[in-house]
């Protein structure tokens, strides 16, 4: 889970339209939120990922649903209120259901930075400082369910760790030769790009990379040889903004 910076509402969703759709929902219980322009704006806001589990929403079987953070059944006035809408995968949506998030502590990733609430340990989410809101969110969404999430995080995480290990081996052969380090810098850009916020499970994999001993060693060698340039610095700093602390 990563912090989602809320974008401006889609231009079609004017105050007037919100009022009209809200009334329609209250009168006829129709799916007024199911508009292409709402879905597109939400997907764009979350880099095509579920706002909770970071599963990609463009893969087979993982179509996007519109999540009402405050459930529409309890809070019908918020049925198309932009600040209440998030993109979600079918699994997270069916787990959260009509949970009353006004009363039950639950994380809204567009309001709170998950980095401050979770750490990660062996691909499993752990509440920071026994935070109750984090604990409840893990429990309700099943963020540590093995078949759905832990294995998916492991698959991308393990491939990443193999890639950085391979890169370290290549870098360590000619540690002080600027010319042989340059092509490796291109590979490191690729590695860092693969953990940025637009990638599936980015909180997990950015954390794995930042905390990897091979990554730290490669970075040190690059710095020593002036290969650690502005592009790499920027990518490293962006990855740190979403990475969880590791236990």
Interaction between residue 140 and Zn ion (CB under 5 A): no
Interaction between residue 235 and Zn ion (CB under 5 A): no
Task: Choose the binding region for Zn ion from 42-50, 73-81, 198-206, 219-227 (rule: CB under 5 A).
Answer: 42-50
Buried b / exposed e over 93-108, threshold 16 CB at 10 Å, is bebbeebebeeeebbb
Interaction between residue 203 and Zn ion (CB under 5 A): no
**Residue 11 CA from chain centroid, whole number:** 25
Residue number, 66 or 185, with CB nearest to Zn ion: 66
Measure the CA–CA gap between 62 and 70, rounded to whole angstroms: 22
Interaction between residue 134 and Zn ion (CB under 5 A): no
Put residue 103 in one of left, alpha, beta given phi > 0 → left and psi -120 to 50 → alpha. Answer: alpha
Interaction between residue 92 and Zn ion (CB under 5 A): yes
Measure the CA–CA gap between 107 and 91, rounded to whole angstroms: 17
89 neighbors 62 (Cβ within 8 angstroms): yes
Burial class of residue 79 (count of CB atoms within 10 Å of its CB; 0-12, 13-18, 19+): buried
Interaction between residue 42 and Zn ion (CB under 5 A): no
Residue number, 86 or 191, with CB nearest to Zn ion: 86
Task: Choose the binding region for Zn ion from 18-26, 46-54, 132-140, 231-239 (rule: CB under 5 A).
Answer: 46-54
Residue number, 63 or 178, with CB nearest to Zn ion: 63
Tokens of 201: 């499970």
Helix (H, G, I), strand (E, B) or coil at 245: strand
Measure the CA–CA gap between 199 and 212, rounded to whole angstroms: 18
164 neighbors 191 (Cβ within 8 angstroms): yes
Tokens of 209: 């990379």
Residue number, 203 or 210, with CB nearest to Zn ion: 203
Extract the runs of DSSP E, i.e. beta strands, from 54-197. 65-68, 85-88, 118-121, 124-127
From candidates 45, 50, 57, 210, binder to Zn ion by CB under 5 A: 50
Minimum CB separation of residue 34 from Zn ion in Å reads 18
Residue number, 13 or 140, with CB nearest to Zn ion: 140
Task: Choose the binding region for Zn ion from 6-14, 81-89, 120-128, 226-234 (rule: CB under 5 A).
Answer: 81-89
Measure the CA–CA gap between 57 and 218, rounded to whole angstroms: 33
Task: Choose the binding region for Zn ion from 70-78, 91-99, 176-184, 218-226 (rule: CB under 5 A).
Answer: 91-99
Interaction between residue 150 and Zn ion (CB under 5 A): no
Task: Choose the binding region for Zn ion from 21-29, 43-51, 162-170, 236-244 (rule: CB under 5 A).
Answer: 43-51
From candidates 2, 64, 89, 239, binder to Zn ion by CB under 5 A: 89
Interaction between residue 106 and Zn ion (CB under 5 A): no
Footprint on this chain of Zn ion (rule: CB under 5 A): 50, 52-53, 55, 89, 92
């Amino acid at each position: 889970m990563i912090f989602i910076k809320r974008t401006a509402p889609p231009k079609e969703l004017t105050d007037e339209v919100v009022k009209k759709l809200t009334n329609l929902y209250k009168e006829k219980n129709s799916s007024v939120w199911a508009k292409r322009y709402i879905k597109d704006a939400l997907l764009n806001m979350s880099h095509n990922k579920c706002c909770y589990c970071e599963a990609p929403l463009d893969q087979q079987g993982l179509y996007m649903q519109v999540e009402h953070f405050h459930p529409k059944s309890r809070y019908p006035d918020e049925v198309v209120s932009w600040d209440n809408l998030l993109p979600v995968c079918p699994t997270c949506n069916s787990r959260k259901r009509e949970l009353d998030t006004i009363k039950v502590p639950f994380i809204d990733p567009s309001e709170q930075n998950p980095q401050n609430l979770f750490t990660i340990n062996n691909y499993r989410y752990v509440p920071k400082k026994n935070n109750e809101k984090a604990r409840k969110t893990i429990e309700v969404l099943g963020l540590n369910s093995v078949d759905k999430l832990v294995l998916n995080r492991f698959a991308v995480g393990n491939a990443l760790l193999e890639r950085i290990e391979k890169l370290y081996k290549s870098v360590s052969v000619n540690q002080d030769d600027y010319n042989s380090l340059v092509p490796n810098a291109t590979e490191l850009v690729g590695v860092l790009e693969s953990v940025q916020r637009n990638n599936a499970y980015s909180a997990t994999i950015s954390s794995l990379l930042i905390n990897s001993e091979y990554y730290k060693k490669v970075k040190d060698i690059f710095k020593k040889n002036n290969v650690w340039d502005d592009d790499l610095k920027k990518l490293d700093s962006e990855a740190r903004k979403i990475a969880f602390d590791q236990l």
